[in-house]
A and B are shown apart, each in its own frame.
Chain A
Amino acid sequence: MPYPLDVPAAESSDPVWSEANLREHILLEQTWRRPPGIYGWLTATNHKDIGLRFIVTAFIVFLMAGVLAFIMRLQLAVPENTLVGPDLYNELFTVHGTAMMFLFAVPVMEGMGLYLVPLMVGTRNVSFPRLLNYSYYIYLGSVLLLFVGFFLNVGPDVGWFAYTPLSGPEYSSGKRVDLWSQVVTLAEISSLAGAVEIVTTVFKQRAPGMSLNRIPLFVWSQLVTAFMIIFAMPAVMLCSNMLSTDRLAHINTQFYNPAEGGDPLLWQHLFWFFAHPEVYIIFIPATGFISTIVETFAGRRAFGYTLLVLSMVATSFIGFGVWVHHMFATPLPQLGQGLFTASSLMITIPNGIQFFCWIATMWGGRLKLTLPFAWVLSFFLIFTIGGLTGVMLASMSIDQQVHDTYFVVAHLHYVLIGGAIFPLFGAFYYWFPKWTGRMLGAKLGWVNLALMFIGFNLTFFPMHTLGLLGMPRRIYTYFRESGWAERNFAATVGAGVLGLSVLMFLVNVLISRRSGLLAGSNPWGASTLEWATSSPPPSYNFLHPPMVRSGHPLWFDPPDTPVVTGLALEHREVLVTTTHDAKPHHRYHMASEAWETVALAVVTIVMIVSVVFHSLAIPVGLPLILLVLAIWFWPTKETKPLKDPNRLRTVPATVPMIPDPA
C-alpha cells in the first residue's frame, strides 16, 4: 500500500497514525465536513453526499419506472386485455421511457461519476461544489414533477419521443405535454451542470503525475460522456422549449405546424440529434465500469489502453452522426439515408475494438470470478445480441420492416439493460464497499444475477420474433388472431422474474448495509486511487492527496511515492494541476455550503413549472433568479482577495510534493 497513512478514521488506533497525522485529520474533518443539522444536509456540497443522492434517487426512479413497465406487461400478457385502457397505457409507456432515459439512466451514471471521479483523480471535491448542490435539487424537482404529474393524471401520454403534431396543441390538449417538456428542461439543466463538474474536475484537479495517459479508464469514460452531454442536451432543451412555445396559448409559435410553414420533421431531427447520443451517454460510462472491473479481476492493466480511450472518443464523435437511422421510415432522400446507414455501421468498429481489447485483457490476465466480474460476463452475452440487432437496424432496408416494432423494443432493451444495467449492477457490487465500508452479500448477489439473467432474456428475447410477426410498438392491446399471445405471456412472466431479482438486490443492500462483511480500504486489490483511502472515505477524501507515477498507482507505484502536503488545513483548498501533464499549478480555494444554492434551485423549479400555467412566470421569475444569483455571488470576506498574497501564488512543481515522512 503506497499510502499507509490514509487509514479510516474508525481505525485511528492504528499505529501508523502519528500524532501529527491525527491532528491534520481532525483539522481537515472540521474544515471539510458539512455543517451540522438540517441546514447542512440541505446545503451539502460534498461530491460523495450528492453523488450518492443522485444514485439513490435515480434508483428509486428505476424502481417506479420498472413498476410501470410491469403494469404494461400485465396488460399485454393476454390478447384483448382490459386491465388498463389506451389513455393510461399511453401514459405508462411515456412515463416509463421518460423516467428511464432522462431521470434514471443519465443521472445514475452522472451520480457514479460525481462520487468516483474526484476519488479516482485524487482530489478532495469537484470543482464547483455549490453548482453540484444546485444540480441535485433541479434533478429532484424534475423527478417530482414527472411522478406527481403522473399521479395527478397529468402525466405525459405522447411517448418519450413526443413526436409532433401528436404532441402539439391541436392533438394533445391539457397540460400533460407541457409538464413533460418542463421535466425535460429541468433534467437537462441538472445533467449539464453535472457534466461541467466532471470536465473541470478531470481536467484541472488530477493528482500530480496523472498525465492524460494515466487517467483511469472509468474517468475517461466519464469525461467523454460529459462532453457528449454538453453537446447533445442543448438540442433537446431547444426542441422541447420550441414545443412549449408552440403549445402555450400566450406565446403560440408555429415551429412544428405544417399548416403555418412549420415542419414536424424539424422536431424529429432535433430530438434524435440529442436522443441518439443519449444512448452513448448511457453506454459509455458503462464501458468505464467494464474496463475497471475487467482490469481488476483479470489482475492486469487493460490491454490497449490507448485504443480503449480512442474508441470511446470515436464512439462519441460518430454517435452524433447517426441520428437519421431513427427516421429511415420518413420520406427523406434515399442518398442521405444511405450515408446514415454507413455511419451507423461504422460505429460498430470502435465498439468492436473495445470488445476485442476487453477479451484480450482477459486472455492475458489471471481471472478471478467474482460477482462484479460475473455481471460483466453476462454483459458480454447480452449486449452482443443488442449490438448485432443494432447492425441490422442500421440497414435502411431492414429497418423499413422492423422500425417501430417489438424488434426495436427487444433491441433497445438488450442494448440498454444489457449494456448499461448489467454493468451498473456489477459496479454497485464493486463499489458498494467503498460507499458503505461493507461488502454486498455474495449469496443473494449470485441469485440476483441468475434471476436477472433469466428474467431479462425471457422478457425480451421473444420480442424479436414478435416484431418480425408484425407487432408494432406502443399498442395497448392486440387481437386474438394475431398469434402474438404466447410470446407476450412469456415476456410477462419474464418481467415478473426480473422484478423479483431487483427486489433481491434491494434486500441485499438493506441487509449488507447493516451486517455485511467489513470491507477495509481495498477489498478487491484494485489499482485505482479511490481504494487508497478508507471505506467510506472521510469528508476530505485523502489525508495527503496522492501523487501518481503510473496509470495503476496501487499496483505499480513504489511505496515511497511522494504525496501532496502543504495544502491549507483550516479552509477548503485543493491543488489545481495542468491539463496535459497534471503538473501542480496553483491552489484553489473552494466555496463552502450556502443557502443560496437551495433557494436558487427552488426559484428555478417554480419558475419553470409555472411557465406552463401563467404568462407572468418568466417576467417575475427571471428577476427573482437574478436576485438570488446576486446574493450568491456578492463578494464576501471569504472570496475577497486574501490578505496573504502568497496564498494565490503559483506553486512551483516541487513545493507540494514533499515526500511523506512515513
Chain B
Amino acid sequence: MIAAATARWATLADNDFGVTSGEWVRGTKSVLDPAGPQSGRIHQLFLDYFWLSVVVYVLVVLFVIFAVILRRRRARWTGPILAEPAPSREKLRGWLVGLATLATTIALFFLLAGDHAAGRAIRSLSTDNALKIRVTGHQWWWEFRFEDEAPSKIFTTANEIHIPVGRTIEVELHSPDVIHSFWVPNLHGKRDMIPGHPTRIAFRADKASEYWGQCAEFCGYEHAKMRFRVVAEPEEKFNAWKAAQLQSSVQPATDSQKKGQYVFLHTTCVMCHTIQGTTAGAMMGPDLTHLASRKTIAAGSLPNKRGHLAGWISNPQTIKPGVRMPANSLPPDQLQALLDYLEILK
C-alpha cells in the first residue's frame, strides 16, 4: 500500500515536475513503476521482502516497547537481581528465543527461494528475434550502436534510443575507460560495464512511454550528468525512427546552413564528432548525424533547444564542469550559422 502510494506519487511527481521550466522532456524513472517483465518481477519480489520486513519490524518494536512499559510496571527497580532467575521462566524464554530463531530461519529460506525464483525468471527472457544494441559507456555519455546482420543497417546514435514495445532488447555492454553502470529503473536492474568484461542483459518494455536511464556507478566528475532516454513505442513508429536514423545526414540548403557545415568541418568540432554524409568521422564524442531528432543534449543535461545548444557549444565547462568537450569561442555569425546547420540534422 505504502509502496503503491509512493509509486503513484512518484509518477505524478515525475510528470508534473517536468514542466517547471516549461521545456523539460517527459520521462519516468522509478523502480516502483515497472514497465517490463524484469522490473515487474523485481518489483514483486521487493514487495514480498518489504511486507515481511514490515511485519518483523512491528513485532520487534512491540516486544521492545512492551518490555519497557510492562516490565517496568511489574518489576520495579530495586537494584540488580542477585538471585538466580527462576528456572521455569528462564526455560520459557529459551523456548521463545529458539522459536523466534526458527521462524527467522524459515522466513529466510522463503526469501532465498523467492530470490532464486525471481533471478531465474529475470534471466529466462527469450532473446529470439531480439533487437541487439551495443552500448558503450564513455566519460560521460552513452554510445548506442544498433546491430544488424546487414552492415548497411547498422547505425550509431548517442544518449537517446527508441525501442519497440513488446520486443526483447538485448544490450551488449562495453566500457573503454572507467566502470559505468547501465540502468533504466522502469525496465530492468542495473549492470556494471567493466573494462575488459563485456556483458549482456536483455529486457523488454511492455508499455509505450519515455523512460530515463542513468549511469549508476561513480565514474568521475560528471557521473551526475550521464543520463540517457529510452523511448518505447509501437513497432511501426520504431521502424520509422530506425529508417530515419539509417539515412545519411540532411545536406544544408541555405547559405547560412552551408556556412554552418563549413564551420563544423573546419573548426574543432570535426576532431571528435561524426556526421554521416560529410567528412566528419571522428569517434571521440557523440555521433551528431541526427542530433536534431533528439530531445536532449549533453547526455540528458539540457533540452535540445537552440539557446541551450549555443551555450553548450560555447562553454560546456559551465554546464558540465570537467566534461571532455572544450570551449569553442566562435564569432557570433559562425556560431549562428553552425546552429542553423545543426538544427536541420533531423
Closest to B18 in A: A481
Complex Cα–Cα for A357 and B97 (A): 7
Chain A residues contacting B225 (CB-CB under 8 Å) are 477
A345-359 interface code vs B (CB 8 A; 1 in, 0 out): 110110011011101
Stretch touching chain A among B67-75, B159-167, B231-239, B273-281: B67-75
Q: How far is the CB of A103 from chain B (nearest CB, A)?
A: 21
- A401 at interface (Cβ–Cβ under 8 A)? yes
Chain B residues contacting A338 (CB-CB under 8 Å) are 115-116, 119
- B332 at interface (Cβ–Cβ under 8 A)? no
- A23 at interface (Cβ–Cβ under 8 A)? no
- A596 at interface (Cβ–Cβ under 8 A)? no
Chain A residues contacting B262 (CB-CB under 8 Å) are none
- B247 at interface (Cβ–Cβ under 8 A)? no
Q: Is the CB of A334 within 8 A of B123?
A: yes
Most chain A CB atoms below 10 A, which of B14, B45, B63, B217: B217
Q: How far is the CB of B137 from chain A (nearest CB, A)?
A: 12
- A478 at interface (Cβ–Cβ under 8 A)? yes
Interface of chain A, main secondary structure: helix
- A483 at interface (Cβ–Cβ under 8 A)? yes
B90-128 interface code vs A (CB 8 A; 1 in, 0 out): 100110110011001100100110111011001100000
Complex Cα–Cα for A299 and B57 (A): 26
Complex Cα–Cα for A468 and B5 (A): 13
Selected contact of B179 from candidates A163, A360, A367, A396, CB within 8 Å: A163
- B327 at interface (Cβ–Cβ under 8 A)? no
Q: How far is the CB of A168 from chain B (nearest CB, A)?
A: 8
Chain B residues contacting A85 (CB-CB under 8 Å) are 321
Q: Is the CB of B185 within 8 A of A470?
A: yes
Stretch touching chain B among A49-57, A381-389, A614-622: A381-389
A376-413 interface code vs B (CB 8 A; 1 in, 0 out): 01001100110011011011111111111100000000
Q: Is the CB of B71 within 8 A of A367?
A: yes
- A473 at interface (Cβ–Cβ under 8 A)? yes
Selected contact of A329 from candidates B46, B85, B181, CB within 8 Å: B181
Complex Cα–Cα for A615 and B214 (A): 42
- A155 at interface (Cβ–Cβ under 8 A)? no
Q: Is the CB of B197 within 8 A of A401?
A: no
Among A312-366, those with CB < 8 Å from B are 329-331, 334, 338, 341-342, 345-346, 348-349, 352-353, 355-357, 359-360, 362-366
Selected contact of B97 from candidates A165, A360, A468, A477, CB within 8 Å: A360
Chain B residues contacting A541 (CB-CB under 8 Å) are none
Q: Is the CB of A329 within 8 A of B93?
A: no
Q: Is the CB of B190 within 8 A of A400?
A: yes
- A474 at interface (Cβ–Cβ under 8 A)? yes
Stretch touching chain B among A257-265, A420-428, A574-582, A624-632: A257-265
Question: With A87-B221, A403-B190, A525-B79 in contact, is A363–B185 under 8 Å at CB?
Answer: no
Question: With A384-B57, A477-B224 in contact, is A348–B17 under 8 Å at CB?
Answer: no
Stretch touching chain A among B27-35, B147-155, B308-316, B334-342: B27-35
Q: Is the CB of B80 within 8 A of A300?
A: yes
Complex Cα–Cα for A366 and B79 (A): 8
Q: How far is the CB of B56 from chain A (nearest CB, A)?
A: 6
Q: Is the CB of A304 within 8 A of B94?
A: yes
Q: Is the CB of B223 within 8 A of A349?
A: no
Q: How far is the CB of B116 from chain A (nearest CB, A)?
A: 6
- B78 at interface (Cβ–Cβ under 8 A)? yes
Complex Cα–Cα for A367 and B80 (A): 9
Q: Is the CB of A404 within 8 A of B216?
A: yes
- A465 at interface (Cβ–Cβ under 8 A)? yes
Closest to B218 in A: A474
- A86 at interface (Cβ–Cβ under 8 A)? yes
- B177 at interface (Cβ–Cβ under 8 A)? yes
Q: Is the CB of A364 within 8 A of B90?
A: yes
Among A454-500, those with CB < 8 Å from B are 465, 467-470, 472-483, 485
Q: Is the CB of B195 within 8 A of A364?
A: no
Selected contact of B63 from candidates A158, A359, A396, A481, CB within 8 Å: A359
- B322 at interface (Cβ–Cβ under 8 A)? yes
Q: Is the CB of A299 within 8 A of B77?
A: yes
Closest to A407 in B: B31
Q: How far is the CB of A378 from chain B (nearest CB, A)?
A: 10
Complex Cα–Cα for A30 and B89 (A): 52
Among A77-135, those with CB < 8 Å from B are 85-87, 90
Selected contact of A469 from candidates B30, B77, B301, CB within 8 Å: B30
Question: With A264-B196, A362-B68 in contact, is A397–B42 under 8 Å at CB?
Answer: yes
Q: Is the CB of B104 within 8 A of A330?
A: no
Chain A residues contacting B80 (CB-CB under 8 Å) are 296, 299-300, 366, 525, 527, 555
Selected contact of B81 from candidates A90, A365, A394, A395, CB within 8 Å: A365
Chain A residues contacting B190 (CB-CB under 8 Å) are 329, 400-401, 403-404
- A171 at interface (Cβ–Cβ under 8 A)? yes
- A658 at interface (Cβ–Cβ under 8 A)? no
Q: Is the CB of B217 within 8 A of A404?
A: yes
Complex Cα–Cα for A478 and B17 (A): 13
Chain B residues contacting A22 (CB-CB under 8 Å) are none
Among B283-307, those with CB < 8 Å from A are 301
Selected contact of B197 from candidates A330, A364, A402, CB within 8 Å: A330
Q: Is the CB of A368 within 8 A of B100?
A: no
Complex Cα–Cα for A366 and B46 (A): 40
Complex Cα–Cα for A404 and B224 (A): 13
Chain B residues contacting A380 (CB-CB under 8 Å) are 60-61, 64
Q: Is the CB of A159 within 8 A of B218?
A: yes
- B37 at interface (Cβ–Cβ under 8 A)? no
Among B218-246, those with CB < 8 Å from A are 218-225
Q: Is the CB of A362 within 8 A of B108?
A: no
- A166 at interface (Cβ–Cβ under 8 A)? yes
Q: Is the CB of A86 within 8 A of B321?
A: yes
Complex Cα–Cα for A344 and B41 (A): 21
Q: Is the CB of A472 within 8 A of B214?
A: yes
Q: How far is the CB of A283 from chain B (nearest CB, A)?
A: 17
Complex Cα–Cα for A380 and B62 (A): 11
Q: Is the CB of A331 within 8 A of B194?
A: yes
Q: Is the CB of A366 within 8 A of B115?
A: no
28 contacts between A and B (CB under 8 A): A86-B224, A171-B139, A300-B81, A304-B94, A329-B189, A331-B197, A331-B199, A338-B115, A345-B112, A348-B104, A359-B63, A359-B67, A360-B93, A364-B90, A365-B75, A367-B67, A380-B64, A391-B111, A395-B111, A395-B118, A397-B189, A469-B31, A470-B212, A470-B214, A478-B224, A480-B21, A482-B29, A556-B82
Q: A401-B46, A482-B29 are in contact. List 9 more A-B contacts (CB 8 A).
A: A330-B194, A341-B112, A348-B108, A349-B104, A366-B77, A369-B72, A395-B111, A399-B189, A479-B301
The 6 lowest CB-CB distance pairs between A and B, nearest first, are A400-B189, A258-B196, A483-B13, A475-B224, A331-B199, A388-B53
